[in-house]
Structure 1
Amino acid sequence: MTDVTLGAVDAGPDSNGPGADRPNALPSRYATVGRTVAGKFAQLVVLLFAVSTLMFFLLRITGDPALTLAGENATPEQIAAIRAQYGLDDSLLVQYFRFLGQVAQLDFGESINTGENALDLVLDRVPKTLQLAVMAVIVNTLVAVPLGAWIGSRPNGRAQAVIGNVVFIGQGIPGYVVALVLIQLFSVRWQLLPSFGSEGWKTYILPTLSLAAFLVPRLTRVLSGNVSEAMEQDFVRTARAFGARHRTVVRRHALPNALLGASALIGTQFAYLLSGALITEVIFAWPGLGQLMIQSVEQLDFPVVQASVFVVAVLVFLTNTFTDVMLGVIDPRLRRKR
C-alpha cells in the first residue's frame, strides 16, 4: 500500500491528476484558434472563387462591351480592334482562366470606360458606402432598441399594440419609397436639406434616414418579441418578487437578454447595407460603391463590375465573421458550445 501511494505522488508531469493537462492548455487553445482562422480563410477563398466565376459568365451573357465602346456607327474593323485590345476575341475558356489568374493577383485590369485601374476605382468608393452604412446602423439601433423594448415590455398595452401595427406596416415599405418621400418633403417642398451629393453634413441626413427607415421595423419587431419572451422568464419574476420596478426590470434584466438575439440581426443588416444600398445611392447621387456598380453595369464595364462584386463579397464575409466573433464574446453559451 505504501509503494502504491509513493508511486502516485512521484508520477510527476505525466500524472493524470487535475493539473496534468495545464501545460498543454495554451498550445491547445492556439491550435483551436489556428484551425478556426484556417477554416474561415478556406471559406473566403471558396466564396470568392464562386462569386468571381458566376459574375464572369453572367457578364458575358449581358452583351459585348466592344460594341458599347465602338459606338453605333463603328465599322467591323474598329469593333474587331477593340476586341483584340481587351482580349475579348479569345475563346471564353481562355478569357476565364486568364481572369482567374488575374484575380489571384488582385488584378482586375483597367476600366473599359476610363482606363483607370478597376480595383483602385472601387476602393476609392468604399469609404463613402461604409460611412453611410455605419450611420444608418447607428440610427437604426438608437431608434429600434428603446422602441422594441417599450413594445415588448407591455405587449398587451393599447399604445404598444397601435405602434406595433405601424411598425408591422412599415416593414413592408421599400427603402426607395421612403427616399422619394423624404426628397419631396425636405428638398422640394420645404427646401431644408439637399437631395444629392456628399458635400457637408446635411447631405448625409436624407440617405441615412432612408436606409434606417427600412431597417428599424425589422429590428424593432425582433427586439419586442425577445423582450416579451424575456419578461416571462423566471429571473424576471424573481426580480419583481424582490420589488424591482417595471422600468428597472426591463432595462437591467429583459433588454440585455433580448439584445443577445438581436445582435446577429444588426450585423446582418450592416452586411446588407454594404451590398443592398444600390438604389438609395443612385437616388441621392451618393458617390459610393453602389452607384459605381450600377453605372458600370449599364456601361458593360466588366473589370469594374467584377472588382466591385469581389470587394463587396470580402466586406460582407468580414462583417459576418466579425458578428460571429462578437456573439461568442458577449454570449457565454456560444463560447461553451465552441
Structure 2
Amino acid sequence: MRVLVRALTRRVLQLLALLFSISTLLFFLLRISGDPALVLAGENADPEFIAHVARQYGLDQPLIVQYGNFIGHVFQLDFGRSVQSGEAALGLVLARMPATVQLAALGILINLLVAVPVGAWLGSRPHPLPRVVATGLLVVGQGVPGYVVGLLLIQIFAVKFRLLPSIGNTTLVSWILPSVTLAAFLIPRLTRVLATNVSAAMSDDYVRTARACGASKLTVVVRHALPNALLGATALVAGQFAFLLSGALITEVIFAWPGVGRLLIDSVLRLDFPVVQATVFVVAFLVFLVNALTDVLFSILDPRLRRQRG
C-alpha cells in the first residue's frame, strides 16, 4: 500500500510540474506572437478602443501580474472565453475532443490489424529476399508524409471514383479516408518493430523447445513468438496513440475533421489565445495519462516488472 501511495504521489507531482511548465511557456510564447488587446479589439480599431479593451481584460497590467492571474485561473481550469465565439475556451476543446479520440482509436485499430499479421509473417520468414523487399517497401512507406497519402486518397476515392466523402464526420463512411491516412503513417514503423521482435523470438530457447515438441510453425509464431513481440511493441503503440491524441493536425485540416487538431490550427491563425492555451493544456494532460496507463499495463503484462516494483 505504501508503494502504491508513493507511486501515485510521484505521478501527481509530475503531472502538476508538466502542466505548470507548459502553461508558463505557452503564456509567454503567445504574447510574443501578437498583442492580445489588438486581437480582441480588431485590427481596424482606434487606439482609444484598444486601450479600453486592454484595461477591461487586465492587459494593461505588468506582464508578471498578468502571468500570476493567468496561472491562478489555470489551476481553477478557467482559460477564459474564446476571442472569436465568446464561448468558454475549455468547453470548446472538450466538445471537440471526442472526434479526435474516435479518429485516433480507429487509426490505431487499423494500424494493429495490418501491422500485427504482416510483422509476424515478415519476422518468421527464414529467407532474406522477402524480408529485404518488404523492408524496403516499409522504409519507403514510412518516409511518405501523411498529408501526401491523404491527398492521394481524396483524389482517387473522392474525386475520381466518388466512392467516399472527403470532409466531415457525419457518417461512418466519412471516417474511412482520414483513419486510413493516419494508419498509413503508423503501419510501417510498427510492422518493422514487430518483425524484428518476432525474428529475435524465433531463435529463443522456448521457441526451439516448442518446435522440438512438434508444434507447427503457425502455432509457434502465434502462441509463443508473437505475444512476446507484442509486449515489446506496447510502448510504441501507446506512443502512437498519444501522438494522435495530440491532434493529427494536417489530417484533420485536410478532411475538415471537427477535432482538436483543426481547432488548434484555426485558433493559432486567429490568435485566439484562450482556446490555444486550453487545447495545449488538455492535450498535455491526456498524453501524460496515456503514458501513465502504459506503465501500469506493462506492470500487468510483464511479471519481471511486477517483481521489481514489488
TM-score by length of 1: 0.89
Alignment equivalent of 2:256, drawn from 285, 288, 304: 285
1: distance between equivalents of 2:161 and 2:94? Answer: 36
Deviations 1:39-97 (A, max 9, x none): 11010000000010010011011011332343343211121122222222111111100
Alignment equivalent of 1:185, drawn from 156, 169, 182: 156
- Amino acid aligned to 1:139: I
Q: Contact 1:125/1:287 (CA < 8 Å) preserved in 2?
A: yes
Query: What corresponds to 1:84 in structure 2?
Result: 55
1: distance between equivalents of 2:141 and 2:157? Answer: 20
- The yes-or-no answer on 1:61 pairing with 2:61 is no
2: distance between equivalents of 1:84 and 1:206? Answer: 48
Query: What corresponds to 1:120 in structure 2?
Result: 91
Q: How does 1:180-259 map to 2 (within 5 A)?
A: 180-259=151-230
- Amino acid aligned to 1:218: R
Structure 2: segments with no counterpart, 5+ residues: none
* 1:270 to partner: Cα distance: 0.3
- Amino acid aligned to 2:96: R
Q: Contact 1:148/1:224 (CA < 8 Å) preserved in 2?
A: yes
Deviations 1:94-139 (A, max 9, x none): 1100001001111111111111111111110110000001111111
- Amino acid aligned to 2:287: V
Q: How does 1:296-311 map to 2 (within 5 A)?
A: 296-311=267-282
Structure 1: segments with no counterpart, 5+ residues: 1-29
2: distance between equivalents of 1:281 and 1:155? Answer: 41
Q: How does 1:100-115 map to 2 (within 5 A)?
A: 100-115=71-86
* 1:165 to partner: Cα distance: 1.3
2: distance between equivalents of 1:266 and 1:72? Answer: 45
1: distance between equivalents of 2:58 and 2:32? Answer: 16
Q: 3-state SS of the aligned residue for 2:127?
A: coil
CA gap 1:113/1:155 in 2 versus in 1, 3 angstroms: farther
Query: What corresponds to 2:21 in structure 1?
Result: 50
2: distance between equivalents of 1:166 and 1:155? Answer: 18
- Amino acid aligned to 1:240: R
Q: Contact 1:109/1:117 (CA < 8 Å) preserved in 2?
A: yes
Q: Contact 1:108/1:119 (CA < 8 Å) preserved in 2?
A: yes
Query: What corresponds to 1:142 in structure 2?
Result: 113
1: distance between equivalents of 2:294 and 2:4? Answer: 17
Q: 3-state SS of the aligned residue for 1:106?
A: coil
Q: Contact 1:277/1:290 (CA < 8 Å) preserved in 2?
A: yes
1: distance between equivalents of 2:39 and 2:277? Answer: 18
2: distance between equivalents of 1:158 and 1:247? Answer: 20
Query: What corresponds to 2:304 in structure 1?
Result: 333
- Amino acid aligned to 1:45: L
- Amino acid aligned to 1:217: P
- Amino acid aligned to 2:112: T
Deviations 1:218-242 (A, max 9, x none): 1000000000000111111111111
1: distance between equivalents of 2:133 and 2:126? Answer: 10
2: distance between equivalents of 1:279 and 1:87? Answer: 35
Q: 3-state SS of the aligned residue for 1:195?
A: coil
1: distance between equivalents of 2:247 and 2:267? Answer: 16
Q: Contact 1:145/1:223 (CA < 8 Å) preserved in 2?
A: yes
* 1:155 to partner: Cα distance: 5.1
Q: 3-state SS of the aligned residue for 1:307?
A: helix
Q: 3-state SS of the aligned residue for 2:271?
A: coil
- Amino acid aligned to 1:105: Q
- The yes-or-no answer on 1:40 pairing with 2:11 is yes
CA gap 1:263/1:39 in 2 versus in 1, 3 angstroms: same
- The yes-or-no answer on 1:175 pairing with 2:155 is no
TM-score by length of 2: 0.97
2: distance between equivalents of 1:276 and 1:121? Answer: 15
1: distance between equivalents of 2:82 and 2:7? Answer: 37
Query: What corresponds to 1:13 in structure 2?
Result: none
* 1:161 to partner: Cα distance: 2.7
1: distance between equivalents of 2:276 and 2:249? Answer: 13
Percent identical residues: 62
Q: Contact 1:155/1:161 (CA < 8 Å) preserved in 2?
A: no
In our comparison, the structure showing a higher alpha carbon Rg is: 1
Alignment equivalent of 1:312, drawn from 278, 283, 303: 283
Q: Contact 1:281/1:288 (CA < 8 Å) preserved in 2?
A: yes
